[in-house]
């Protein structure tokens, strides 16, 4: 396994000890308020009451107990800059890694002999993909 890749395993309590959906809703609301303060996405509302900024995925509503738990985890780890997390099944993740050599669903590989020109090309590709 590459040195910059690590697996994290989470051991869950028995289902009867899990928080209720109401408790998860309350935790999500608290975390969202906390993230608004930390990240600063609390821009003023526009003329029609719509949010003036932020990201579209911030408004995704978690449906069901599992979705709410994932949303809570996502909000908690979002405060750590420079980290990207994905929630996937272990077999699916390993299969993607075996096929393309990367863990994500989408990857761009830049090949060549000159590292500086490869880096410049990779940065240009990144700029296009982020738009």
pLDDT in tens, 25-61: 888 888 777 766 655 544 444 444 444 444 444 444 5
44 and 62 together in one domain: yes
75 and 94 together in one domain: no
97 and 113 together in one domain: yes
Please give the C-alpha separations between residue 39 and each of 3, 43, 62, 68, 96, in angstroms, as whole numbers: 30, 11, 20, 21, 32
pTM for the full model? 0.32
The model's pLDDT over 93-125, given as tens digits with 9 standing for 90+, comes to 777 777 777 766 677 888 889 999 999 999 999
25 and 64 together in one domain: yes
72 and 101 together in one domain: no
Full residue range of the structural domain in which residue 4 is found = 1-85
Closest CA to 68 of 12, 10, 22: 22
Q: Which residues of 2-21 are buried (b: 16+ CB within 10 A; e: fewer)?
A: eeeeeeeeeeeeeeeeeeee
Q: Are 85 and 74 in contact (CB under 8 A)?
A: yes
């Amino acid at each position: 396994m590459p040195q910059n890749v690590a697996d994290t395993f989470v051991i869950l309590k028995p289902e009867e000890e899990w928080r209720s959906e109401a408790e998860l809703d309350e935790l999500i609301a608290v975390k969202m308020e906390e993230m608004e303060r930390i990240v600063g996405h609390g821009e003023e509302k526009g003329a029609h009451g719509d949010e003036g900024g932020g990201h579209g995925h911030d408004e995704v509503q978690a449906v069901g107990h599992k979705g709410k738990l994932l949303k809570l985890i996502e909000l908690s780890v979002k405060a750590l800059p420079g980290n990207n997390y994905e929630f996937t099944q272990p077999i699916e993740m390993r299969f993607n890694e075996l096929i393309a050599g990367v863990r994500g669903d989408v990857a761009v590989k830049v090949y060549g002999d000159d590292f500086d020109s490869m880096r410049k090309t990779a940065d240009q590709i990144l700029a296009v993909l982020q738009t």
